[in-house]
Amino acid sequence: MEKMPKWADVVLVPVVSLLLAAIISVIVFVAVGQNPWEALKLMAYGAVGTSDFLGYTLFYTTNFIFTGLAVAVAFHASLFNIGGEGQVLLGGLGAAIVCLFIPWPHWTLALIAGGLAAAAFGALWVAIPAYLQARRGSHIVITTIMFNFMASGLLVYMLSDALRPAGQMQTATAIFPDATHLPSLNDVAQLFGSDLFGRSPVNISIFIALAACVGVWLLIWHTRLGYQIRAFGQSESAAKYAGISAVNITMIALLISGGLAGMMAVNNTMGINTPQLVDNAAGGAGFIGIAVALMGRNHPVGIIIAALLFGALYQGGAELSAATSIPVQIVVVIQALVIMFTGALDQMVRSPIEKIFIRRGRAAAAAGE
């Protein structure tokens, strides 16, 4: 089968997509009367310019690694889990319940229990859509996105009612006990006498995210289950013929996916400076995970790089709207453009580039004959 070279697939396509997004962004900036070059520089400064900004970029990167991995694992089985947002919220609920109602002696134990609870809640939330997909043929895209709305409703109910301390008006849980608060990366840096990450909330769960990347790499490419997942994703009928159970693979791939998404909640509940679960805690990370996975070609290394890019974009964008009079809505437009071009419109760039390479390949082959 004719294919374009690997470097074009991994580097050229994302770069061209980013360039397209940049061109439209420039038009948007000019239209609102801003200097696009200054805006870009400010965004770069906002992403890495101070230790706080760098720390926030890595904090968001941690979120996006988890959700990117979640989308990627399901994608290897040809399943499109776009319910990351809801699974993160449920994961947060799991972590919050474990942290608030069990008196943990030390954060290490709380981390293990909180992580497991977050993963379990995230996996449970996707279990129903997974079952419906595997057994009843209800499309996973439809069911997972509907489950996002239900998760949001459930979370708001829990935060307004059951988990809100009496007398508190903000819709949030109580602040978790100190013993469940994860050390920040700056605490780690201070052991070496450095203040690299300032007062930002980036915390040791970034190591868990990286460990999860290794785990996913091992799972997908170095285990029998991973082989089955990929075989199922490439061709369902061939996989069935080879004796792979479609129901099992669908369920397992989605449960792992939901678990990874749920684990993100460790970062944004137990890891933040004021450890608690707030409303809308996912903040769009579930959806950004889709773009991260697509841009990272569903490979952990690609996902780390894409997550860094989106982390920088997210943090730099916040700085852009704080430091200038550019309305926050314009910043959201810019972020959405990047997501749209690298994620949703990936094929728009990919197929013409693919055609060019194939044509050139044929021409070269013809010339060589």
Report the interface residues with another protein, using CB under 8 A: 38, 41-42, 44-46, 48-50, 52, 56, 156-157, 160-161, 167, 169-172, 175, 199, 201, 268, 272-274, 276, 278-281, 283-284, 318-319, 321-324, 328, 332
Nearer to another protein, 48 or 132 (CB): 48
Query: How far apart (Å, rounded) are the C-alpha atoms in residues 302 and 295?
Result: 7
Instruction: Give the whole-angstrom CA distance, residue 95 versus residue 98.
Output: 5
CB nearer to another protein: give 63 or 228.
63
Contact 262, 123 (CB under 8 A): yes
The residue (of 117 and 318) whose beta carbon lies closer to another protein is 318
Radius of gyration of the chain measured on its C-alpha atoms: 22
Please, what is the minimum distance in Å from the beta carbon of residue 322 to another protein? 5
Which neighbouring-strand residues pair with 172? 278
CB of 248 to another protein, least distance (A): 37
**Nearest approach, Cβ of residue 11 and another protein (Å):** 18
Contact between residue 126 and residue 79 where contact means Cβ atoms under 8 Å apart: no
Nearest CB to another protein, comparing residues 69 and 277: 277
Tokens representing 231?
A: 């075989």
- Shorter beta-carbon distance to another protein: residue 91 or 300: 91
How far apart are CB 107 and another protein at their closest, in Å? 18
* Shortest distance in whole angstroms from residue 274 CB to another protein: 5
For residue 65, CA distances in Å to 152, 209, 216, 292, 367 come to 22, 6, 11, 8, 45
Task: Give the shortest CB-310-to-another protein separation in angstroms.
Answer: 16
Q: Which of 248, 280 has the CB closer to another protein? A: 280
Residue among 223, 281, 271, 255 at smallest CA distance from 124: 255
Q: How far is the CB of 160 from another protein (least distance, A)?
A: 5
Provide the β-strand partners of residue 203: 184
Nearest to 155, CA basis, from 277, 22, 6:
277
Q: Which of 88, 58, 87, 72 is nearest to 216 (CA)?
A: 72
CB of 156 to another protein, least distance (A): 4
When the beta carbons of 141 and 333 are compared against another protein, the nearer one is 333
Residues 6+ apart with CB under 8 A from 321: 327, 328, 330, 331
How many Å apart are CA 150 and CA 85, to the nearest integer? 11
Identity of the residue, 256 or 265, whose beta carbon is nearer to another protein in the bound complex: 265
Judged by beta carbon, residue 112 or residue 328, the one nearer another protein is 328
Whose tokens are 């693919």? That residue is 354
Distance CA 72, CA 292 (A): 9
> What's the min distance (Å) between Cβ of 96 and another protein?
14
Nearest alpha-carbon partner for 119 in 90, 141, 85, 146: 90
